[in-house]
Amino acid sequence: MRVAVVTFPGSNCDYDLYKAVQLVGGEPTFVWHRDRQLAGYDAVMLPGGFSYGDYLRAGAIARMSPIMDDVVAFAHRGGPVLGICNGFQILCEAGLLPGALVRNASLRFESKDVHIRVERADTLFTSDYDHGRVLRIPIAHGEGNYEAGEATLEQLEGDGRVAFRYVSADGEVTEAANPNGSWHNIAGIVNDRGNVLGMMPHPERATEAILGSTDGLGLFTSMLRSLAPAAA
């Protein structure tokens, strides 16, 4: 699996993502946003961080970077695109995913481990997980409160496009388990074709026992398996 980890000025989880891809046996490459080189990659990942300092609005400036045209084209061709945290915000700003991520309900940056439930185990990002499994994964964001219009939410739920939901440790959707006020406790969604995933929690930070959790590994192994069926 050849992965382009796209970096913008202000990306800061790029290295973590690179290492996570490497850990499962993928081949990551950093692609600087001005270089516009996405040919030959099996997947594109947009890392977390503060692209352009979150100035104006998280992801709002990065989405105008020339490479986003290439990312959009890549996604429209059916290529897998994963956006984590700021990457998710950029995907929403770029129109690859519906809705928006607004200021956390607490009005503060929230950094802690959360529990999320796998709502879809049949996407190329989640096939190694069992449906309904509860994962323990860190979050670290100030603007992760997922919002969308009623119609969009209905469509997302109706089509089963909510990939992850914030839950309690025993898997219940509760208000207390929702760290940022996201509607319907949404932590991650996919596009209608299922080849674009955006999520606020950081699976790349939960890939080794020394970090406190390995629950994020499945995301990367799922992608590896889906994209290299022969090797699996």
Partner 1 sequence: MSTTEGTLHAGAIAVPPVPPRDGDPEVTAELVADHGLSGEEYERIRRIMGRAPTFTELGVFSAMWSEHCGYKNSRRLLRLLPTEAPWVIQGPGENAGVIDIGDGYALAFKIESHNHPSAVEPYQGAATGVGGILRDIFTMGARPIAVLDSLRFGDLDSGRVRYLFAGVVSGVGDYGNCVGIPNIGGEVAFDRGYEGNPIVNAMCLGLMKREELITASASGAGSPLMAVGARTGRDGIHGATFASEELSEDSDEASRPQVQVGDPFTEKLLLEASLELIASGAITGIQDMGAAGITSSASEMAGRGGSGVEIDTARVPVREPGMTPYEILLSESQERMLVVAEKGKEDEVRRILEKWELEAAVIGHVTEDGRFRVLEHGVVVADIPALPLTQGCPTYEREGVESEHVRSLREKDLAEHLSPEGDLGDRFLRLLGSPNIASKRWIYGQYDTTVRSSTAVRPGGDAGVVRIRGTRRAVAATTDCNGRFVYLEPRRGAHIAVAEAARNLVCAGALPTAITNNLNFGNPLKPHIYYQFREAVLGMAEACQAFETPVTGGNVSFYNETDGRAIYPTPVIGMVGVVEDIDHITSHAFRNEGDAIVLLGANDAEMGGSEYLYVTAGLVAGRPPSVDLMAERSLQQAVLGMIHEGLLRSAHDCSDGGLAATLAEAALGDGESPWGIEVALDDDLPPVGVLFAETQGRIVVSCDPDHAGAVLRIAEIHEVPARVIGTVGRPGGDLNLRLTRGFVSVPAARAAEAYFQAIPSIMDAPATAGA
Active site (catalytic) residues: 85, 202, 204
Q: Considering the complex, state which of residue 9 and residue 147 has its C-beta at the smaller distance from partner 1.
A: 9
Q: Which is nearer to partner 1, 5 or 162 (CB)?
A: 5
Q: Are 220 and 207 in contact (CB under 8 A)?
A: yes
Task: Give the binding site for partner 1 (CB under 8 A).
Answer: 9-10, 12-13, 15-16, 19-20, 32, 48-50, 52-55, 108-112, 138, 140, 142, 169, 202, 204-205, 207-208, 210-212
Number of C-beta neighbours around residue 136 at 10 A: 16
Q: How many helices (H) and strands (E) does the chain have?
A: 5, 11
Residue 145 vs 207, nearer CB to partner 1:
207
Minimum CB distance to partner 1, residue 115 (Å): 11
CA distance 177 to 112: 12
Instruction: Please state the closest distance from residue 188 (CB atom) to partner 1, in A.
Output: 18
- Compare residues 195 and 207 and give the one whose CB is closer to partner 1: 207
What is residue 87's three-state secondary structure? helix
Q: Which of 2, 226, 228 is nearest to 129 (CA)?
A: 226
Q: Which residues, listed in sequence order, are joined to residue 81 by a DSSP beta bridge?
A: 44, 196
Q: At its nearest, how many Å lie between partner 1 and the CB of residue 214?
A: 12
CB 64 within 8 A of CB 52: no
Nearest-approach distance from CB 3 to partner 1, in angstroms: 16
Helix intervals (H) in 58-193: 67-76, 86-93, 150-158
